[in-house]
Structure 1
Amino acid sequence: MGALMNPEHSWPIPPPGGWTADDLDTLPNLPPHTELIDGSLIFVSPQTLFHSRAVDFFNWQLQSLAPAGLEVVREFTIDIDRRNRPEPDVIVIDEEAITDPQQTRFPAASVRLAIEVVSPESVDRDRETKPVKYARAGITHYWRVENKDGRAVVYVYELDPATKAYVATGIFHDRLKVSVPFPIDLDLTAITPKRRRPE
């Protein structure tokens, strides 16, 4: 509220046609994890504990399971096109995409799996907008992680190359076991901290 009342504060005004993927690297004072969707800047809300734990879980678990030639990176933007540079919560990429310690994005063509952990403010983007864009960019696997009554539910999708659209291949509650993009077997109950029982 204070920022809105401060006459010295100014929000970035988009140029005609909207922002471009390159603008994310040059616009001053952008909040961390700003994304570009359809030429518009998307600012993220404060993280919930569930979101933070889920991102950590998939990041560390997939790092331990990913075969040689693949890398796991959290919260890093990907280039889809000139007007779209989203930031999935976790991605699995070809290691050849890592070319420079100073790089700020990866090409979408290098992404094998994109994972989004849904927040209250990101529901529509994670369920509708981003899957369409990820599929059109050729990202073969997409997982959407949702908090259902304090427990993680993972919706798994695979790209149909004929239609360039995702097909649901499973909904996983307590255990996620898949063979692609590589063998993965995860205990999803580990995302939610276990409450200590009174002695």
Structure 2
Amino acid sequence: MSGVPETPEATGPHWPVPPLGGWTADDLDRLPNLPPHTELIDGSLVFVSPQTLFHSRAVDFFKWQLESVAPADLEVVREFTIDIDRQNRPEPDVVVVHGEVVERADQTRFPAESVVLAIEVVSPDSKARDRETKPLKYARAGIRHYWRVETDEGRAVVYVFELEPATGTYTPTGIFHDRLKVSVPFTLDLDLAGITPRRRTPESE
């Protein structure tokens, strides 16, 4: 006994150490104690920051609106991962898929080829992923429609993209500020003011 009191070990989160070559899509279902909405991008785990009010309202808005008009053979799901390849399993904020891939209550992902539309609501920490990384991967996976939702001084702006089959890349087809009106992947006419709070706060002015 030295008589020197032992220093207690520091406590805190213990992040998983990636294996050689990075994590795989299957690892997301096996790793314990991952934070909610963890994504896999290029073999690396991506943890999300707390949601802003705009982000939460926008996700709710699009899920509810799309469910009300989508054809019966399509399913609308929020915050659900999709399999792109072995090292990429992102989680769109809202995804529209063919209904036959919704199989069971304990399902954790959809195949990318089943996705009709992927929507990302941009957060301060996700700008690069939502503007650059994810669209590239969604396009390569053959997802035909991609929408990016951003906020401009509290008001929603929707950037709409469609896959150009000859190049395999997204082509912008519209920027919508107050009203989103499209005919693909199905007819939709939305008042985007429904995303903003009913009682506007000073921060949203």
The two structures have a TM-score, normalised by structure 1, of: 0.94
Offset, 1:58 = 0.1
RMSD: 1.1
Offset, 1:193 = 1.3
- 1:25-174 counterparts in 2 under 5 A? 25-174=29-178
- Return the index of the structure with the highest Cα Rg: 2
SS at match of 1:46: coil
CA distance in 2, matches of 1:59, 1:28: 29
SS at match of 2:133: helix
Offset, 1:7 = 4.1
Residue 176 of structure 1: which of 180, 188, 191 is its match? 180
CA distance in 1, matches of 2:45, 2:52: 21
Offset, 1:99 = 1.3
Offset, 1:48 = 0.2
The two structures have a TM-score, normalised by structure 2, of: 0.92
Offset, 1:171 = 0.1
Amino acid at match of 1:126: D
SS at match of 1:59: helix
Offset, 1:194 = 3.1
CA distance in 2, matches of 1:6, 1:65: 53
Identity of aligned residues (%): 76
Offset, 1:8 = 5.9
- Gapped regions of structure 1 (runs ≥ 5): none
Aligned residue pairs total 192
- Gapped regions of structure 2 (runs ≥ 5): 1-8, 201-205
Amino acid at match of 2:139: A
CA distance in 2, matches of 1:115, 1:50: 15
Per-residue Cα deviation, 1:157-191 (whole angstroms, up to 9, x for no partner): 00001111000000000000000000000000110
